[in-house]
Structure 1
Amino acid sequence: MTGRRRVRDEHGFVLPTRLMVFSISAVAIAGLAFVATQGDDKPDTASPAASSSKTSQKPAAKPTKKADPVPPATSTPKPPPVVDRAKVFVVVFNNSNIKGLAGRIATRAQGAGWNVVGSDNWYGTIDTSTVYYGPKLKAAADLLAKDLGVTRVKPAIDPMRADRLTVILTQTFH
C-alpha cells in the first residue's frame, strides 16, 4: 500500500425515485380503498323486507284478551315549540346605506336574549328586510322577526349558513 487510505462510501443505500413514488402511491391508494369500502355493519331495521321475513318465521300467538276500543282522539292544537333565544346563533347584515344599522339591530337582538355572533354589511340585493332560517329553525326565525319588527321570514339561501338565523336589513327597515 502506498499510503492511500481507502475512503469508505458513506452515502448509504438509495432507492430509485420511481420506486419511491410508486410505493407511496400504492400505500395511499390502499388507504383510500380501505376507507371507501368501510360500510355500516348494522342491519337495516327499517327495511320492510327484513321485518316481514322475521314475522313470517314466528308462529302467530293466540290473543288472550280482546283489546278495548280506543276512544276517538280529541283534536288539540299543538303548542308552538319553545325557543331558547340564547341557544340560537344570529348574524345581522346591513343591506342599506344607513350607517351602523346592523350594529344597532344586533344590539337590540342581544338585549332580547338572542346569541348574536356577528354583524356586517351584506353585498347583494335584497328587496325587503328578511330573517332567513336553516332547517329546524323556523319557529326561532318567526320569534326573532317578531322581536325585531321584521315582516318577512324565508328559508336560508346560498351562501348563508344553515346553523343560524341570518337577518338582512334593507332601506325599508324602520
Structure 2
Amino acid sequence: MSLPPRAPRSRDERGVVLSTRLLALCISAVAMAGLVYLANDPDEVRPDQATAVRSTPSATPSPSATVAPSTAPLTRKPTPVKPAETYVVVFNNTRTAGLAGTVAEKAKVAGWNVVGSDNWYGTVDGTSVYYPPRLKQAAEALGRDLGITRLKPSEEPMQFDRLTVILTDDYS
C-alpha cells in the first residue's frame, strides 16, 4: 500500500521544516509590508514641499520649448492671519490678580477668539506668546496686538491647536 503524496517542504538555515504554503504566506507578508512602507515613505517629497528644478540650457534649443524655466526659487505666499478663527488662551503667572482677564479682553477687542484665561502654575522666563508651527504668523500678529515681543514654540502641557499667552512680571 502506498502513502498519498506529501506537500513539498523546504528547510530554513536551522533545519526547521516549513510547508510550502507557510513559506509563501511569509514571503507575501514581507512583500506587503514593503509595499506599505514604500506607500508611506516619510522621505517622499510632497507637492507642497517640492523645490524648484533648475535645468541648464542645451547647445541646441528644442523647437517645442517656448517658455524658459524660471530660475527664481519657489516661495509660498504667507497665508493671511484670521484672528477670529484662531483660538487664544491667556494665563497669568504673576501675583497681579485679574491680569489674564484684562489681557484676554484686550485680545478680544482686537478680534482674537479668546477661549479662556486662568493662572499658570510653573516657571517661565518671561511674557511670551507660545505657538504651534502652523500658527507662527498668527503669534506674531497677536504679539503686536498685545505688545509682546517674545514668541516661542508651544511645549507640553500646552494645547497645540491654539496660541498660548503667558504673562509674567515683565508685562507692562
Category of TM-score, reference length = shorter chain: 0.5 to 0.7
| 1:18-50 C-alpha deviation (Å, 9 max, x unpaired) | xxxxxxxxxxxxxxxxxxxxx999x939798xx
Q: What's the Cα RMSD here? A: 2.9
Task: Kindly provide the amino acid, as one letter, of the partner of residue 155 in structure 1.
Answer: P
Rate the CA distance shift 1:66–1:45 in 2: closer, same or farther, 3 A.
Answer: farther
Over 3 Å counting, the alpha-carbon distance change for 1:45 and 1:151 in structure 2 is closer
SS in 2 for 1:120: strand
Max radius of gyration: which structure? Answer: 1
* Aligned pair partner of 1:44 in 30, 36, 39: 39
Instruction: Please point out which of 100, 105, 109 is paired with 1:107.
Output: 105
Q: State the shift of 1:75 in Å.
A: 7.1
TM-superposed CA distance for 1:87, in Å, is 0.4
Q: Which runs of 5+ in 2 are unaligned?
A: 1-32, 45-61
DSSP-derived class of the 1:86 partner: helix
CA distance in 2, matches of 1:74, 1:114: 36
For residue 39 of structure 2, give the secondary structure of its aligned residue in structure 1: coil
Amino acid aligned to 1:103: G
Letter in structure 2 aligned against 1:92: V
Which consecutive residues of structure 1, in runs of 5 or more, have no partner in the other structure? Answer: 1-38, 49-63
TM-score (normalised: structure 1): 0.60
Runs of 4+ in 1 over 4 A off after TM superposition: 45-48, 73-79
CA deviation map 1:43-69 (0-9, x unaligned): 939798xxxxxxxxxxxxxxx952224
Residues paired across the two proteins, number: 120
Alignment of 1:90-101 (within 5 A): 90-101=88-99
Calculate the TM-score normalised by the size of structure 2: 0.61
Q: Give the secondary-structure state (helix, strand or coil) at the position aligned to 1:90.
A: strand
* Equivalent position amino acid for 1:151 in 2: T
How is 1:10-89 mapped onto 2 (pairs within 5 angstroms)?
Answer: 44=39, 66-70=64-68, 72-73=70-71, 79-89=77-87
Q: Which residue of 2 aligns with 1:150?
A: 148
CA gap of 1:141–1:72, structure 2 versus 1, over 3 A, is same
Among all aligned residue pairs of Structure 1 and Structure 2, give the percentage whose two residues are the same amino acid. 48
- The answer as to 2:163 corresponding to 1:168 is no
